[in-house]
Amino acid sequence: MPSDPPALTPATVVVSAGRPDHGPDQPLNPPITLASTYGAGGVREYGRYANPTWEAFEETLGALEGGRCLTFASGLAAVATVLDLVAAGDRVVAPRHAYNGVTMQLADLEVRGRLEAVLVDVTDTEAVLAASADAALVWLESPTNPALEVADLPRIIEAAHRAGARVVVDNTFATPLRQRPFEHGADLVVHSATKYLSGHSDLLMGAVLTREEEVYDALRGRRELVGAIPGAFEAWLALRGLRTLHVRLDRAEGNARELARRLAGHPAVEEVRYPGFGAMVSVVLSGGAEAGDRLTRSTSLWVHATSLGGVESTFERRRRWRSEPLTIPEGLVRLSVGIEDVEDLWADLAAALDVLR
């Protein structure tokens, strides 16, 4: 009997999954399907229910993460749909330092009496476990945004399950090439596909993955009901960007590691936060908010912008946003390191830092 084909590495899966069947005159890439309406009697029926272009992206990301994927109009639409799984009055435990949209959604839902939100320091595992004892949902980021803290995912997930809670892991920063939360027992994985997955700062899209059929059906039902669907063109662009995730991330991660090393020795830098993987680096400047603002105004190559995960290097002082937690230092600047030549990135950054000394 023929043996099973060897398992593909993630770098190969990201290129090969979600393709049309191979055959004469078949396109290598799935086309953009611009359709609001389908002929009756099939599995799609209407444009709010399904689209072949979404499905190609979902197949690819699902193969990378090891779960079933649903795409959404944005990362926050994905977040809101997951939070809709929580029953009225239930407790949600989440990081005190997290994607700002997550903490803002939790605060809004708590004010409206929908749920109880408990924010914790994810590096204090015992505190997370204590808060999770009565929780319905534990929301985790690792690394966190923008503090770049790393959580003990296996221990927290195991304890949360013993307490009867579901666990969501936002895997936007790590990507499935550096971390696969389902392997640690997570129930759901969330992505802002706007960031590293698409990688070119040209679209908004979100994704949720699960291995549970009941949860998948509930999420899909909510997506259909509220219409939080991605555009076909956005899904096509996201899949096109996803094909190069492995080479983009390898390059950006190498740059980030080298920049973190050099930044640690600069006198204007009080602290460097880098978890050892990925392409996000945060620095705390000794000059506080004024130094952070001056830095972001003083470069020519680095772009002052609030998003991240693109091929270009961007940075911002996070406390310029009033909704950012007060526990984030005023002088913290979050750097999204791109794929430019590291020497050019360093020359631009070092020149701006030297002025702060």
Does residue 3 surpass a pLDDT of 60?
no
Which of 99, 196, 216, 274 is labelled catalytic? Answer: 99
Domain harbouring 273, CATH code? 3.90.1150.10
- 9-64 tens-digit pLDDT: 999 999 999 999 989 999 999 999 999 999 999 999 999 999 999 999 999 999 99
- Residue 189 within a domain: yes
216 classed as catalytic: no
Q: Give yes or no: residues 170 and 73 share one domain.
A: yes
Together in a domain, 258 and 161: no
Q: Are residues 197 and 325 in the same domain?
A: no
Domain boundary among 242, 273, 304: 242
pLDDT given for residue 68 in this prediction: 98
Mean pLDDT of the chain: 96
Instruction: Indicate whether 226 and 334 sit together in one domain.
Output: no
Q: Over range 297-321, report the average pLDDT.
A: 97
Whether the predicted pLDDT of 1 surpasses 90: no
pLDDT tens, position by position, 245-292: 999 999 999 999 999 999 999 999 999 999 999 999 999 999 999 999
pLDDT reported for residue 4 = 62
Whether 257 is catalytic: no
Number of domains into which the chain is organized: 2
Q: What is the CATH number of the domain that holds 203?
A: 3.40.640.10
Q: Are residues 74 and 199 in the same domain?
A: yes
pLDDT at 286: 95
Q: Which of 191, 224, 242 is the last residue of a domain?
A: 242
Domain ranges, residue 234: 10-242
Residue 141 reports pLDDT greater than 70: yes
State yes or no: is 195 an active-site residue: yes
Residue 82's contacts (CB-CB under 8 Å, 6 or more residues apart) are 137, 168, 188, 190, 208, 219
Statement: residue 128 has pLDDT above 60: yes
Q: pLDDT by residue (tens digit) across 182-207?
A: 999 999 999 999 999 999 999 999 99
Q: Which of 91, 114, 166, 195 is catalytic?
A: 195
Catalytic residue among 19, 38, 44, 48: 48
User: 4 an active-site residue?
Assistant: no
Residue 5 in domain: no
Catalytic option among 152, 166, 170, 178:
170
Q: Which of 242, 266, 299 lies at the terminal end of a domain, its last residue?
A: 242
| Confidence band of 110 (pLDDT split at 50, 70, 90) | very high
* Per-residue pLDDT at 357: 77
| 14-18, 68-72, 314-318, 353-357: the lowest-pLDDT one | 353-357
User: Same domain, yes or no, for 159 and 276?
Assistant: no
